[in-house]
A and B are shown apart, each in its own frame.
Chain A
Amino acid sequence: MASVSKSTGAATDAQAQRSTREFAQAVRAHALRMVHAVNASHIGSSLSMTDLLAVLYGGGVLRVHPAEPEWAERDRFILSKGHAAASAYATLAEAGFFPTDWLATYCLDGSRLSGHLTRGVPGVELSTGSLGHGLPVGAGMALAAKRDTLPWRTFVMLSDGELDEGSNWEAILFAAHHGLDNLVAIVDYNKIQSFGSVAEVMRLDPLAEKWRAFGWACREIDGHDHDAIADALNSVPHEPGKPTAIVAHTIKGKGVSFMENLLAWHYKSPNDEQLAQALAEVEQE
C-alpha cells in the first residue's frame, strides 16, 4: 500500500533524530509560556501527561502524517481531558501539524486555539472540555474501523477525575463487549482532581482491576518513564480481542518542583518569576 511510508509515525526525519525527552522538554516549555501569557488554568494537568504525549507523537507511536492531518488511515487521538489543551496544542505544533507561532495565540480573542481542545485545529479529532465524552466517541471510531476492517487505531487520553463520569463506564462496557482491540485508553493518573485528591473525592483504586473486571487488558506504567510508555504503547493490543487500558501513574505538575502534586496548580498560572524558575527546571530535566 502506498501509505506504508506514512504509517511509520508522526515524526519527520529531522524530528526522529530528537529524543522524546527533548520533545517533552519543548512541550513543557511551550505550555508554561502559553498559560503564563494569558493567565490560564490547568498547567498541572498539562504537565502530568506531557511525557505520554511526547512518546505518542514524538516517539512515532501514532501513525499520523502532520502534513496531511485528515489522511484517511491515520490513527485517531482524542484528548478527553480537554482542559489540558496547552500541552496538547504544543505537542501538535512540535509534531508539525501547525507552526509553533500559533501557540502564542492560545486563548486570545479571535484565536484558533481555545482553552479547551477544539476541532478545526490541524490534528485535533474532537472538541472536548466537558469530561466523559472522549471515550464513547473513540469507541465509535474504533467500531467503524473494526466493522470496515480498516487498520487505524484509536487512542483516548483520560484524566482520573473524569472517570467519575458514568458515560465512561458505559463506553468501557461497550468496547469490551464488541472486542474493540483497536481502541486504547490511557489514564493520566495524577491522583488529583478539581477540588481534592482522587482518594478523598471519589476513590478509583483498585483502578487497573476495575478495567480488567470490565473485560479490558490493563497495564500499569510509570507515566514519566519514556521506555515504559513506548513499550506499552508499541505493543497494543496487549491481548487480542480486548481493548487496551494503560493506567499511567503520573505526577500533577511534573517537571516543575513547586507545582508537583499541588492542587493549586489546577487553577493558578505562574507569575514572571515563577515562569523563569519553571523554564529553568524544565530545561535541566
Chain B
Amino acid sequence: MRNTFISALCDLAEQDERIWLLCGDLGYSVLERFSERFPTRYVNMGVAEQNMVGVAAGLALSGKVVFTYSIANFPVMRCLEQLRNDVSYHNLSVVTVAVGTGLPYGTHGYTHHGIEDIGIMRAFPNMTVVAPGDPVEARLATAALVAQGGPGYLRLGKGGEPTVHQTPPDFQLGRALPLRAGDDVAILATGAILAEAVTAADLLAQQGIRATLLSVPTIQPLDTEAILAAAARVPLLVTVEEHRPVGGLASAVAETLACAPGQHARLLPCGVTISPKVIGGGAYLRERNGLDGAHLAQTIAQALTGERAAHVLHSGGA
C-alpha cells in the first residue's frame, strides 16, 4: 500500500507543482522514488515530528500542498497539537500519511502500533480521515485528497496488502464502497483489514449466511446514509478495524445509530481489544484480537445465532 501511495503521489506531483513531501526520517526504500524525482519538493525533516508539521503548515500557508510521512502513530501523536492548531484550525492543505497503522509492526511492540489514531484525528474540525482498504483505494484516496484540498489523514497499511477491488470502484471521499450484498448481516470494514473482512464474508456465505460488505475508507465524513440503509435492512452491523473500538469506526457507527430514530440493527464492534503487552507478529496479533477472517466469521455467526434466539424469545413472549 505504501508503494502504491508513493507511486500515486509521484504521478500527482508530476502534474501539480504545489505538491511537497516531508518525512520524519523514515521511508527507506519507499520514498526515494519521490525524492530523486522531485528533490526541491522533498525534505527529510529528521526525527522531529512537531517541526515537520509546523513546517508543513508554513509551506501550506505559502501555497503548497504538503504530505507528511512517517510510520504508525509517530506523524499523528508526537505532533498532535501542531495538527490541531496549525493544520486543522487553519484549514490547510496538509495530508498526514501514516504507514503501517494497525498492527503490522507487530513484534516492534505497542510503541509502533497505530491503534488509537482514527479516534484522535476524527475529533478535529476540517479533517478528512481516510483508511484505504487496499492498494486501489489507496491510489484513489491520494488523488481525491489532493483534489479536495484541506487537511487530510491517510491511514495506510504497511505493504503486501492484497488487491480487493478487481475493477476500479467509484471512489468518492465520504462514500462507502459496496463489495457484497446480503440481508443477514452487514460488515463494515475500514483500512487494511478489509481483506480479512472479505474472507469472513466468503466463509459466512459457505454457511449460508449472506452478508452485505461495505468498505468504509472514509471515517470522517462518514457515509451515514449507507450505514443507516444497511442498519434498516439487517439485524446486525459488524465493524471491523485494526484499531481500538474506542474512537474508531465502531464509535463513529455507534454515534450514527444512537442518533437514528426507529428500529435498527445492533452493533457488534470487532477491533483491537487485547492487552498492549501481548507480543507477536502482525498476523498473530490479528488472530489474538479475533480479526482474521476465520475468527471474524465465527464471531459473526455466533452473534447471529444469539440475535435469532433473542428474536424468537421476544416474539414468543409478545
Contacts and interface: CB of A to CB of B under 8 A. Distances in A.
B57 to A, nearest CB: 5
Contact of A139 (B55, B63, B82, B89): B55
B59 A144 contact: yes
Contacts of A139: 51, 54-55, 58
Interface in B146-196: none
A126 interface: yes
B48 A170 contact: yes
A127 interface: yes
Nearest to A129: B85
Interface residues of B, number: 26
Nearest to B56: A140
Contacts of B63: 144
Contacts of B59: 140-141, 143-144
A174 B51 contact: yes
B61 interface: yes
Contacts of A143: 43, 55, 58-59
The DSSP consensus for interface residues of chain A is: helix
Contact of A144 (B46, B54, B64): B64
B90 interface: yes
B76 to A, nearest CB: 16
A154 B57 CA distance: 14
Q: Which of A127, A136, A166 has the most CB of B within 10 A?
A: A136
A133 interface: yes
Interface in A108-148: 119, 125-130, 132-133, 135-145, 147
A171 interface: yes
B53 interface: yes
A174 B46 contact: yes
Contacts of A170: 46, 48, 50-51
Interface string B9-52: 00000000000000000000000000000001101011010110
A174 B25 CA distance: 13
Contact of B61 (A126, A135, A173, A177): A126
Interface of B: 40-41, 43, 45-46, 48, 50-51, 53-64, 81-82, 85-86, 89-90
Interface in A13-59: none
Contact of A173 (B46, B56, B60): B46
A202 B81 CA distance: 22
A274 interface: no
A139 B40 CA distance: 16
A133 B82 contact: yes
20 contacts: A126-B57, A127-B85, A133-B81, A133-B82, A133-B85, A133-B86, A136-B57, A136-B58, A136-B86, A137-B54, A140-B54, A140-B57, A140-B61, A144-B59, A147-B40, A170-B50, A170-B51, A171-B55, A174-B51, A174-B55
Closest 4 CB pairs of A and B: A140-B58, A136-B54, A170-B51, A144-B62
Contact of A171 (B51, B60, B61, B81): B51
A144 B85 contact: no
A137 B48 contact: no
A154 B54 CA distance: 14
B16 to A, nearest CB: 15
A129 B90 CA distance: 13
Contacts of B64: 144
Contacts of B41: 147
A119 B63 CA distance: 16
Interface of A: 119, 125-130, 132-133, 135-145, 147, 154, 166-167, 170-171, 173-174, 177-178
Contacts of A127: 85, 89-90
B58 A144 contact: yes
Nearest to A144: B62
A126 B57 CA distance: 10
B194 to A, nearest CB: 35
Contact of B62 (A128, A132, A141, A178): A141
Contacts of B62: 140-141, 144-145
Contacts of A177: 46
A135 B57 CA distance: 11
Q: Which of B58, B60, B63 has the most CB of A within 10 A?
A: B58
Q: Which of A127, A132, A174 has the most CB of B within 10 A?
A: A174
A122 to B, nearest CB: 15
Q: Which of A135, A139, A140, A147 has the most CB of B within 10 A?
A: A140
A171 B86 CA distance: 15
A141 to B, nearest CB: 4
A136 B62 CA distance: 14
Nearest to A78: B58
B82 A138 contact: no
B58 A138 contact: yes
Contacts of A142: 58
A137 to B, nearest CB: 4
Contacts of A138: 58
A133 B92 CA distance: 15
B50 A137 contact: no
A178 B60 CA distance: 18
B115 to A, nearest CB: 25
Nearest to B22: A140
A214 to B, nearest CB: 13
Contacts of B48: 170, 173-174
